């Protein structure tokens, strides 16, 4: 029998945090919420799954048990880390304050993350490159297949995986090698998004 101390906490998905970027994220408001929990004498923050979501944007319909949702990456932190130019956040569109409009958030934030990836490729310092390479090596067991899956999903315009060409949907080694080469840049971008998520997490 377990002898666990009595404790209490709050359930709040990170997407529900306030902020200027259309969706709650891993930026300052997450830290402020932790400070609030401490001040209120709480010991637990139940967050629900944080994986990249599929149709319907439900956290319980994640595309991976390991990956994080890139929409939770805080753009201001990217700029502070030198992974976005200063002017990148000069034209943040107005988002609803009472809900997450996923279509609008995705349309604005994903191009921003791809811009960050291009900026990283051109301007990252040696410390950032080393951290990224270390992450890719340590997480390769799930990251390589996930990154290729997401690159393929984009290539096939979000069509269901069971409609993709038979060799790749059966994960045949020659098809994996072929598509990894064809979609090398898109696959590396997906690795980069995961690195950003786990750096901020």
| pLDDT 10s digits, 44-55 | 999 999 999 988
- Examine the pLDDT at 159 and tell me if it is beyond 90: yes
- Examine the pLDDT at 129 and tell me if it is beyond 70: yes
Report the DSSP beta bridge partners of residue 121.
none
For the segment 98-121, the average pLDDT, to the nearest whole number, is 97
Domains of the chain, by residue range, sit at 9-200
Q: How far is CA 103 from CA 91, 95, 99, in A?
A: 17, 11, 12
Q: Can you give the pTM of this predicted structure?
A: 0.94
Give the span between the Cα atoms of 49 and 60, in whole angstroms.
6
pLDDT value at residue 123 = 95
DSSP 109-137: HHHHHHHHHHHHHHH--HHHHHHHHHHHH
Q: Is the C-alpha dihedral spanning 116, 122, 125, 129 positive or negative?
A: positive
For 9-200, which CATH class? alpha beta
Give the span between the Cα atoms of 20 and 92, in whole angstroms.
8
Question: How does the average pLDDT of the chain come out, rounded?
Answer: 95
Task: Measure CA 24 to chain center.
Answer: 12
> What does the pLDDT look like over 18-44, one tens digit per residue?
999 999 999 999 999 999 999 999 999
Other C-beta atoms within 10 Å of 74: how many? 19
For the segment 179-198, the average pLDDT, to the nearest whole number, is 98
User: Quick one: pLDDT band at residue 2, thresholds 50, 70, 90?
Assistant: low
User: Quick one: pLDDT band at residue 153, thresholds 50, 70, 90?
Assistant: very high
- Examine the pLDDT at 99 and tell me if it is beyond 60: yes
Give the span between the Cα atoms of 199 and 116, in whole angstroms.
14
pLDDT value at residue 1 = 57
Widest CA span of the chain, in angstroms? 57
For the segment 74-97, the average pLDDT, to the nearest whole number, is 95
Ranges of beta strands (E only) in the chain are 9-11, 44-46
- The percent of residues above 70 in pLDDT, for the chain, comes to 99
Count Cβ atoms within 10 A of the Cβ of residue 174 and give its class: 0-12 exposed, 13-18 middle, 19 or more buried. exposed
User: Quick one: pLDDT band at residue 167, thresholds 50, 70, 90?
Assistant: very high
């Amino acid at each position: 029998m377990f002898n666990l101390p009595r404790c209490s906490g709050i359930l709040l998905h990170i997407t529900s945090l306030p902020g200027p970027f259309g969706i709650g994220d891993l930026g300052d408001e997450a830290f402020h919420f932790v400070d609030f929990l401490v001040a209120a004498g709480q010991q637990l923050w139940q967050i629900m799954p944080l994986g990249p979501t599929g149709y319907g944007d439900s956290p319980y319909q994640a595309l991976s048990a390991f990956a994080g949702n890139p929409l939770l990456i805080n753009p201001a932190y990217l700029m502070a880390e030198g992974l976005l130019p200063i002017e990148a956040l000069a034209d943040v569109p107005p988002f609803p304050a009472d809900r997450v409009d996923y279509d609008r958030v995705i349309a604005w934030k994903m191009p921003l993350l791809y811009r960050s990836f291009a900026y990283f490729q051109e301007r990252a310092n040696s410390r950032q490159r080393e951290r990224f390479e270390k992450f890719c090596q340590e997480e390769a067991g799930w990251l390589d297949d996930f990154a290729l899956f997401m690159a393929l999903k984009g290539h096939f315009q979000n069509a269901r995986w069971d409609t993709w060409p038979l060799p790749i949907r059966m994960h045949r080694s020659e098809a994996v090698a072929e598509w990894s080469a064809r979609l090398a840049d898109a696959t590396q971008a997906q690795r980069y998004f995961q690195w950003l998520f786990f750096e901020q997490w």
